[in-house]
Amino acid sequence: MNPILFFLMLFPFLLQAPSVFSQEITETPWERKWEMKPGIYRVLLNGKVGIVDDNNELLVPCQFDQVYGLNDDHFVTVLKDFKIGLYHLEKGLILPAEYDQIWPFENERAKVLINGKMGLVNTKGQIVIPPIYDQISPFDDGMAMATIGNESIYINHQGQLSGAPVKTTPIPSEATETSTWPDSTDAPARQKPAVKIGREQVNQQETYSREITIRSWPDKTPKKRRHHFNGHLSGITLGINGYLDEEMQETVPADYGFMSTIHEKSIEFGIYPFQQDVRLIGSHVGLVTAIGLKYNNYRFDIGQMTDINEAARPWFPDLSDNARISKSKLTTVNLSIPLVFEVQIPEGNGKSRFYLNGGIEGNLRLKSHTKLVFRDEGSRDKRKKKGDFGLNGLRYNFIARAGYDDFGIYATYSPVPLFKSEAGPELYPYSVGITFSFD
């Protein structure tokens, strides 16, 4: 995807996000409802996302983890179990959610990636070029280069081989075999597409005669080095949560003592399925951004309701003072968008294994709840309570990562308090943990 287009699509969403996500929709049957475009709404039902119109008629069923990317052609991308698919608001399902990536349509064709292989589909979801190629370059004048292993060929939009050699027997140096029709000597030549297979390239020139030239290069023909930069943001993060006071100490106010966290049980989990790289210098320095979901669990040590002060009692489900609480926590789910500057340190073979990056991470709180597990009058039970609890809806973090290959460590710190002013204690969240990058 073009980086400029990516940011143009991303930032309008961020600007609108606080107002959009703060709108509580009380109309049934939707739990939440957000406007995507005039007359088109994203809705939440039983933890799944879909799309409806002004009449609350489903355009996309509530079966997905997320829907996004609605364009003027009424195509929308759907996400389910970390796989993506494609819906059309009028025509229904175009591609099931089983692809790793789907590119935008160009000339009614879109590249798709599944199981590491590329192919091409049309706007009806029909496979035009089966996903068997390692790479398909952008089409230029109706042609694209497709690679399988070390072999490259030229194909058209239907996947048909163009410029296939009539004679493919290699000739050591350079030779020309010409078959000429009568009275064709002075006819102007027209260049046909070339086909390269391994070290063999076949060029066709056609007049009223046909000329085929086959060239063979030695094994040590120097290849032009192409610079690629691949960052380390897409993947999984796993760490622990905590918070610091204004003096950077890991303490909480006395009247909020129940919020002292159990570190080993206060877990942060993040998943970032999408990443965009922008090369700055060579193949070792660049900018990286991603989008994903982050789950933060703050585990408390509460024995009974009397441990909670009166101001914080509304955060939790109602229990009797005699109930014995064995588990208590606050959980938030956030839309996370990091942007980092990354430097990679190449090894002797030129491959970049070590990396360092740092930058900022925007977090938009999507939902939050508290949970209590307790025993009252001999029976064990658990209860949840949903709400915003005075939490800040939009925050940003400083983020730093370091690692080797696909494994790394990370740390984040937010200069924005966890709670709004006078809605809770002044605490600043942090997290530390490990990362596992996607290839």
Q: What confidence score (pLDDT) does residue 2 get?
A: 52
Distance CA 201, CA 203 (A): 7
Q: Residue count of the chain, please give it.
A: 439
**83 lies in some domain:** yes
**49 lies in some domain:** yes
Letter for the amino acid at 185?
T
Distance CA 235, CA 407 (A): 10
Helix (H, G, I), strand (E, B) or coil at 253: coil
Q: What is the DSSP string of 273-297?
A: EEEEEEEEETTTEEEEEEEEEEEEE
Q: What confidence score (pLDDT) does residue 390 get?
A: 94
Q: What confidence score (pLDDT) does residue 28 get?
A: 56
Distance CA 437, CA 428 (A): 27
Mean pLDDT across the chain: 81
**220 lies in some domain:** no
Domain boundary among 54, 78, 96: 96
**159 lies in some domain:** no
**306 lies in some domain:** yes
Query: How far does Cα 411 stand from its chain's mean position?
Result: 20
Distance CA 198, CA 259 (A): 65
Could you say which residues of the chain have pLDDT below 50?
A: 4-5, 7-8, 11, 13-15, 17-26, 164-218, 220-221
**122 lies in some domain:** no
Domain boundary among 46, 72, 96: 96
Domain boundary among 77, 96, 115: 96
Q: What confidence score (pLDDT) does residue 334 get?
A: 97
Residue 201 tokens read as: 């390239």
pTM, 2 dp: 0.49
**433 lies in some domain:** yes
CA nearest 347: which of 275, 425, 283, 438? 283
Query: How far does Cα 351 stand from its chain's mean position?
Result: 24
Rg (CA), the chain: 29
CATH number of the domain bearing residue 82: 2.40.10
CA within 13 Å, CB half, 321: 5
Q: What confidence score (pLDDT) does residue 148 get?
A: 86
DSSP alpha helix (H) spans, 99-234: none
Summarised one tens digit per residue, pLDDT across range 172-210 is: 444 333 333 334 344 344 344 444 444 444 444 443 333
Q: What confidence score (pLDDT) does residue 223 get?
A: 53
- Please list, residue by residue across 89-108, b when 16 or more beta carbons sit within 10 angstroms of its beta carbon and e when fewer do: beeeebbebebbebbebeee
Residue 387 is part of which domain span? 235-437
Cα angle 274, 277, 280 (rounded to 5 degrees) comes to 170
Q: What confidence score (pLDDT) does residue 154 get?
A: 85
Letter for the amino acid at 13?
F
Q: What confidence score (pLDDT) does residue 420 get?
A: 94
Helix (H, G, I), strand (E, B) or coil at 256: helix
Distance CA 77, CA 70 (A): 7
Do the Cβ atoms of 71 and 89 come closer than 8 Å? no
Q: What confidence score (pLDDT) does residue 282 get?
A: 84
Total number of domains constituting the chain: 2
**192 lies in some domain:** no
Q: What confidence score (pLDDT) does residue 162 get?
A: 65
